[in-house]
Amino acid sequence: MRIMALWLAGLCTLEAAHFYVTVAGLGGEPEYEQRFAAWAQEIDKVLRGSGGQTRVTTLHGSQATRARLSEALETVAREAAPQDALVLMLIGHGTFDGYEYKFNLPGPDLSAGELAAMLSRVRAARQVIINMTSASGGSLAALQRSERVVITATRSGMQKDATIFPRYWIEALRDPAADADKNEVITALEAFRYADQKTVRFFETQKRLASEHALLEDTGGGEGVRAPSAENGRGLLAGAFPLVRFGQAQAAAQDPEKRKLAARREELEQQIDQLKYQKAALPLKEYRKRLAALLLDLAKTQAELDK
């Protein structure tokens, strides 16, 4: 569990910087150009209003070139420390020829392999890549690695229709309903589940055959899954990655007196999740003992925060 320990170490400090890079690529038509740019701007607004040690870069329109994205990631590579975090969000059209995925940008397109090479230079141990383009499933194999969460809007490179997943991903970042455990922290896992469920309901309501099926992969190997869980071993890292905080959690993260308590609470919550993933390998009595101790510590920490 060395990787999980690194993620928790970064989570616990709450002093770690979060680098957010959002890119809206080519639309091809005015309708899509406007939609993609608007989505990127909405994400930018949410992130800039979230507080904390956030560094936000948003590229759209003529600025969303391969060169500008490369520059943005080079900046992160220079400035990010191992305990920091990177969130990269891609919006727009993608293509897949059966062998290689490409993100459509003004000027030269960007292949998944080229993007993976750029990301490999970033030292931040905690990375979440959300590829919300059409055909994004074709990028999964190139982007996945042992310390990274990868989310794609489609299950393969053959789902080529424009995606609606980004609309609901943005909703997840600002809707308290996405906070399933009600701790006022929306994690990558919670945002994924929220956006996926909303996307599924969209196609059901419209009585249309679904043309996209989102996937999440955070083990560094194998295929992505629709329903991450302890049973299939997916979702542990995604559940330990806070995307945005709000309410008391946001206020505590910015209050020097409560920051350590807030960090301790998030650490305990992630330790509980980690224990649940280990449940099958533990004697039931040992599992219950560890869980009870963590829950008691969590209750005490929350009581201190509530004072």
Task: Examine the domain organization and report whether 197 and 289 are in the same domain.
Answer: no
pLDDT for the residue 21: 98
Asked if 244 and 300 sit in the same domain, the reply is no
- Give the pLDDT score at 1: 46
Based on the domain organization, do 222 and 290 belong to the same domain? no
- pLDDT in the model for residue 250: 73
Q: d(Cα 115, Cα 148) in Å, to the nearest integer?
A: 14
- Judgement on whether residues 143 and 193 belong to the same structural domain of the protein: yes
On whether both 144 and 263 belong to a single domain, the answer is: no
Number of domains in the chain: 2
Cα dihedral 193, 198, 199, 201, rounded to 10, equals: 130
Whether 244 and 261 map to the same domain: the answer is: no
Q: What is the pLDDT of residues 114-165, one digit of tens each?
A: 999 999 999 998 999 999 999 999 999 999 998 899 999 999 999 999 999 9
Helix axis angle, 165-174 to 30-48, nearest 10°: 20
Task: Name the residue with tokens 């302890």.
Answer: 230
> Are 219 and 129 within one domain?
yes
pTM of the model as a whole? 0.89
What six digits make up the tokens of 242?
A: 């806070």
Q: Are residues 133 and 9 part of one domain?
A: yes
Q: Are residues 69 and 132 in the same domain?
A: yes
> Residues 152, 297: one domain?
no
Collect the ranges in the chain with pLDDT lower than 50.
1-3, 6-7, 9-12
Q: How many other CB atoms sit within 10 Å of the CB of residue 157?
A: 25
The verdict on 21 and 159 lying in the same domain is yes
Residue 6, pLDDT score:
46
What φ, ψ does residue 111 adopt, rounded to 5°?
A: -80, 160
What is the domain range of residue 175? Answer: 2-248
